[in-house]
Structure 1
Amino acid sequence: PRAEAQAVASRVLGTAGPLAAELTPHGPAALRRRFTRALAFCGSVTAVLLALWYWKGLPAWTWQAAIVVTVAAIPLAADRYRSLGHTTAEGHLVTRWGSVVRRHVALEHEGIIGWNLRRSFFQRRAGLVTLTATTAAGRQGYGVWDVELAEALRLADQGIPGLLTPFLVNGGPAGR
């Protein structure tokens, strides 16, 4: 149960502050990205199955089932967007992502040994980046998915002040 998980996490962290902190939701570009990824894949599969049914005699239930999956992808994409969030609270980077398996991480700033900024072609076009806090423990890195570049740089500077300063020009990114 969620309450039990929060109680255990509070005992481990020594404080409930990072877990109770209000997360900053990600912007409309992240919302569009969630829906585009879900519907583009499902819609493409549906279109291929529909074409195979029309020209090659594939059973009709295949494309009909694909339509059902496409419709089911809509609330899943909305839930994936709702679960995105991040903040810094009481010396911790707090991030959340996922839908069916939702992850909520509170990583102490002292445990962060570096940052990775990664942008796919589509993230770059949307103005988004994935900021990964690198650590020597656990999964070795914890991501803040599909966040605006300026916000990612702000989070990184709060986590390890001055680390990214040599790579910035006039307070912004040095290059694309």
Structure 2
Amino acid sequence: MSTSKSVARAEFAERRETISSFAREQTAADLAEWIYSAPFRLEYDVTVAAHVPVGTEPGSTAMLDALVDRGVTVLVPVVGEGEPGPLDWARYDGDDSLAPGRWGLLEPTGSRLGVGAIRSASVILVPALAVDKSGVRLGRGAGYYDRTLVGVTAELVAVVGDDEVVDALPSEPHDVRVGWALTPGGGWRELG
């Protein structure tokens, strides 16, 4: 991992810590509302892979519930034991279907679908600390998503705050770029 990525991660994480709980709640509501104006087809036969935002990450399960309301199947990641690798997936069936998993992340309690389940998704909402205008996503650094997203053909969307879409971020050859950003104030923004 490069030092410049470590510095950028620390700076963006520190900024998120300063956001009030009221502002976080408003951000979550705004992100959920944008689901209803997605530039992608979100109907009964579509699968979307998403994440359950935790801590200071933008969003909430309201975003997942909005997807379910649209009639899509929603997959949520499950972090396996051992070294970082591709993520496993399970179906999201509401708040009641979630329980703390590895590192306290909320994960579905239902059947695991395997790492290949991600290939059924046509849209993937990806957590990020920031994203740049060319699609470089700054994650937390373990590489789970980069390992998971290699070779997928879905629309990749980084879910970030409005001030977390920046001109440029440090990148490495293994980084998987995203094509979109979803922000609470600006909605869907195509990158690249």
**Fold in common (TM above 0.5):** no
Q: Which has the higher contact order (CA 8 A, sep 6+)?
A: 2
Structure with more helix by fraction: 1
User: Structure 2 length as normaliser, TM-score?
Assistant: 0.23
Please identify the structure whose Cα radius of gyration is greater. Answer: 1
